[in-house]
Amino acid sequence: MPGIELTAKRVEKLRPRPGRTREIYFDRAKGSPPGFALRVHETGRTYYLVYRFGPAGKKRWWSLGDADAMPLAEARAKARAGRDLLHHGIDPKDDEDRAGRERAAAAEHQRRTEIAESARPTLAGLVDRFVDAHRNKYRAGTLAEYRRIQQVYVAASPLGSLMATDVRRYQVRAFLEGIARRAPVMANRVQQVVRAAYAWGIREELDEQLEANPAAGFDVHDERPMSAEERTLSAPEIKRLWVGVDAIDDAGQRRLPLEAAAYLKLLLLCGLRRTEAARADWRDVNLKAREWRIPAANRKGAGRRGKAAIERELIVPLSSTARALLQELGPGSGPVFPTVAAVMRGRPYNFTQRAREVIGCEFGLHDLRATCATGAGEAGAAPHVVSLILGHAVLPGAAQATRLYDRATRLREVKDALERWAERVERIAASEDGDLIAFARESSAQS
């Protein structure tokens, strides 16, 4: 094995001697560590430190690096470091292997940590995974509402981007109180979804650090059960609504679009749920027959399993007033209330709040349904007719089995009741203040 003073230029030019496929050149430069060598072969050049180690003095070759990539000075420095290890009784090759294993282990640990970190959900991700995991459990309407809450409220807030494990109760409270200032009931709905998502995540052990539910243990808005059903509009409020939805501003423009005004009036006249009416399609409206059919798929309880399942359509007889409102809108094709339906899927509170501002009356959309039911009863409708107007599955005073087998629609009775109620609404809308007081007294006496 020849010895030679290695220089950078010589390293580039050195080749095996004739007749050999490889050659080892030991460095004889002044100050070079003993055993430092360059191995030249047909495919490249590699620096080595050659030494003996152990009781048997076994000869070992430690590869320092590729000469095409590693400068000569760096290779010599690494060889000197290896000699220092030998002086302390450490095999540099084994030490490098051990360091390599440690580096590999550290890299693997880092990789696993990054994977675990990427799997840890944010608050928005946790709610999204919760909703997706229950896609076959909840009915379509509930699922759509949960997805809307996730997108409109959770994902759109700064809190949604925080890791679920980092969210604290005071942050959730502040987040919900911000919603409650605009929509108190919606704040409760958002809290319900977030609380359920955390409970599910803890139960499923999505993250070993997910242990507490920051959305549980407090109330943001004290919501009385069934409060909307207890609210009915008085005669002056009915007039204010009926006249107010047609109000014109100073520029001669309608403050509420014709479609929105007709929608509110029809809720009052027909007693429909807000979503049942908003999803209406012209193919379900027969103005000639004076019937508005609500498909089973659009009704509350559609897609639900068990006793609460809704499998029947609802036929709503149209009063003369209701028919005139629909004639003014159409007839056409496609959705009857396309703009209203889009708003109801996004931010229904904004629609109701705009209507309140225009009309100057505090009310909820469900209040119109309650007012229709109460008004029809005051106009002489029997309890079972009011139940049919509302589309309830159980007739008052009748056994559940009776409703199961009794498929009679009693459309004539329902039509007469809705016609009398519509006439009553028109009389209220056309009345002066003194007549409104009389209406109020009449309603009070009848109740």
The DSSP H or E segment spanning 316 is strand 314-317
The string of DSSP letters for 62-91 reads EEEEETTTS-HHHHHHHHHHHHHHHHTT--
CATH superfamily entry for domain 3-118? Integrase, DNA-binding domain (3.30.160.390)
pLDDT tens-place string over residues 150-164: 999 999 999 999 999
Which of 204-218, 248-262, 289-303, 305-319 is the least confident region? 305-319
Alpha-carbon distance values, 1 to 5, 20, 24 (Å): 13, 12, 6
Are the beta carbons of 216 and 198 closer than 8 angstroms? yes
Per-residue pLDDT at 1 exceeds 70: no
CA nearest neighbour of 35 among 87, 85, 79: 79
- Residues present in the chain in total: 447
Does the domain at residues 229-446 carry the CATH identifier 1.10.443.10?
A: yes
Farthest-apart Cα atoms in the chain, separation: 124
Q: How many Cα atoms are found within 13 Å in the side-chain-facing hemisphere of 159?
A: 23
> CA 263, CA 292: separation in Å to the nearest integer?
14
Q: What are phi and psi of 59, to 5 degrees?
A: -75, 135
* Tokens, residue 408: 């009679």
Per-residue pLDDT at 223 exceeds 60: no
Q: Where are the domains of the chain?
A: 3-118, 123-204, 229-446
Residue 155: predicted pLDDT: 92
According to DSSP, the β-strands at 22-27 and 3-4 are: parallel
**Model-wide pTM > 0.75:** no
| Local confidence band at 305 (pLDDT 50, 70, 90 cut-offs) | very low
Per-residue pLDDT at 286 exceeds 90: yes
Under DSSP, the state recorded for 305 is -
Does the domain at residues 123-204 carry the CATH identifier 1.10.150.130?
A: yes
pLDDT tens-place string over residues 111-151: 665 555 456 789 999 999 999 998 888 777 788 889 999 99
Are the beta carbons of 82 and 92 closer than 8 angstroms? yes
pLDDT tens-place string over residues 367-401: 999 999 999 999 888 888 998 998 886 555 555 54
Residue 230: predicted pLDDT: 52
* Tokens, residue 94: 């084994």
Q: Who contacts 106 (Cβ-Cβ below 8 Å, separation ≥6)?
A: none
Per-residue pLDDT at 304 exceeds 80: no
Average pLDDT over the chain reads: 83
Q: What is the mean pLDDT of residues 24-35?
A: 90
